[in-house]
Structure 1
Amino acid sequence: MRHSEFHRAHRIGWLRAAVLGANDGIVSTASLVIGVAAAHADIQAILVSGTAGLVAGAMSMAAGEYVSVSSQVDTEQADLKREEQELTENHHQEVNELKVIYIARGLKPELAQQVAEQLMAHDALAAHARDELGLTEITTARPLQAALTSALTFSLGALLPLLMVMVFPYLPLAQANQMIINLTASDTMPLITLVGSISLLSLMLLGGLSALAGGASVLTAVARVIFWGILSMGITAGVGLLFGTVSG
């Protein structure tokens, strides 16, 4: 009977982009909303700022991921071309390179020589790409996938704090502060509390789910996103409060 094992390495590419996008969407948009609210802006201004942040952030994430991953692809392709040329010009030396690698991994010299020769006879470039350069199908960079995943997950993450702003005027806790609802805000602490609390809870959930999907420590992942989320929102709130006080 064939023994099958379950691994998560194939998820690295899209999982990284998805987690990064959603996390950035929540943190950056929530921080923007909280910062603008702390400056005593009204609901309309907060909503417009948050929406602009969503669009700009999603495009920035897509462009940034595409450019950075494309650069990685260019580097990988350049390494493969150089390796292909070396295989053509100095085949014997390339066999020795693999032999040394396999010896370092624990094979005896005679066996390492045999393995190197047989693998190169089968597919020399693939053998060197995998064992010398560390390039495999799992780790191959995919620019378009990374860009689309980041933009989509950023947008989904950013929608959360924006939804909190949109529903806030209809919530009981907003009734004690009609000035916010009437778009002439002077005290936006209830809105800041709502957006901050829901965003932190969402970050905890996201961190936990990403850890489970990747087989990592849930506690570590949750602690990490909570720390950076609180830090980002706290600093932005301070900046907004400072500018609100100065302009007032």
Structure 2
Amino acid sequence: MASSQSSLNQPKFTAGDLEQQTAQLDLETEEFDYSKRSQWLRAAVLGANDGLVSTASLMMGVGAVKQDIKVMILTGFAGLVAGACSMAIGEFVSVYSQLDIELAQIRREKMKRENGAVAVIAALDDEKDEKDGLPNPLQAAAASALAFSVGAMVPLLAASFIKDYKVRLWAVVAAVSLALAVFGWLGAVLGKAPTVKSAARVLIGGWLAMAVTFGLTKLIGSSGL
């Protein structure tokens, strides 16, 4: 009698409850996958934005004292190559350091559960198996260099086919402004932040970088230093 009463008091699960739990699990999985994807996508957007602003500012600075199109293009190309190499090397070193830390942590956790030489060998084997899911320094370096190069190509392409000095400067500013707005909007979407404020912040920051570089270079160039 008691057993039958306890069985009646037990919660009953219907097909609707099972479907709801399954849908919730799928939603959590999708959100987790989106979070992982958004991290490297957002990093790529930031890298492209860095290449855009730094190269455009460098070209505007040189353009403040040199009106020759070849000088501006060569300066922008040098900035693209130097910046891409710097980003790649910096990202490679950073990710490799993170990889060493995570591998050491995996080894310590494995050895805590067991003792002896057999545990050491097992920990090294597990480390090899889990290494596939850890960050890849070469991939991170290549992605950073590529993202920087994509952003740096915008001012280069905008200035490459315009011989008139003033028109060329305004073309660079216009192309960079449009790209900054797009990158700011995309970064906000990936980070689930307000799009208008983020785009405006990135756009104003890029304008300030170009204006400061142009103004200071113009000032130093006009003083004869």
Q: TM-score, normalised by structure 1?
A: 0.67
Gap regions ≥5 residues in structure 2: 1-18, 116-125
Specify the SS of the correspondent of 2:75. helix
> Do structure 1's residue 79 and structure 2's residue 105 form an aligned pair?
yes
* Number of residue pairs matched by the alignment: 185
Residues 173-225 of structure 1 show CA distances to partners (whole Å, capped at 9, x for unaligned) of: x3xxxxx4xxxxxxxx4433221222022111111123223433212321331
Matched, 1:219 2:199: no
Take 1:17 and 1:26, find their aligned partners in 2: how far apart are those partners? 14
> Residues 162 and 229 from structure 1, CA distance in 2 versus in 1: closer, same or farther, beyond 3 angstroms?
same
The 5 Å alignment of 1:115-194 reads: 140-169=134-163, 174=164, 180=165, 189-194=166-171
8 A contact 1:34–1:233 mirrored in 2? yes
Partner of 1:49: 75
Q: Which has the higher helix share?
A: 2
> Does residue 196 of the first structure (1) align with residue 183 of the second (2)?
no
Larger radius of gyration between Structure 1 and Structure 2: 2
What is the distance in 2 between the residues matched to 1:72 and 1:200? 35
Q: Which residue does the alignment assign to 2:93?
A: 67
TM-score normalised per structure 2: 0.73
**8 A Cα contact 1:14 1:146, kept in partner:** no
Any conservation in 2 of the 1:38–1:192 contact (CA below 8 Å)?
no
Off by >6 Å, runs of 4+ in structure 1: none
Deviation at 1:162, TM superposition (A): 0.6
- Pick from 22, 36, 52 the counterpart of residue 48 of structure 2: 22
Kept in 1, the 8 Å contact 2:57–2:214? The answer is yes
Structure 1, gaps ≥5 residues long = 90-124, 130-136, 175-179, 181-188
Identity of counterpart residues, as a percentage? 43
Distance 1:142 1:224, change over 3 A: farther
The Cα RMSD (Å) is 2.4
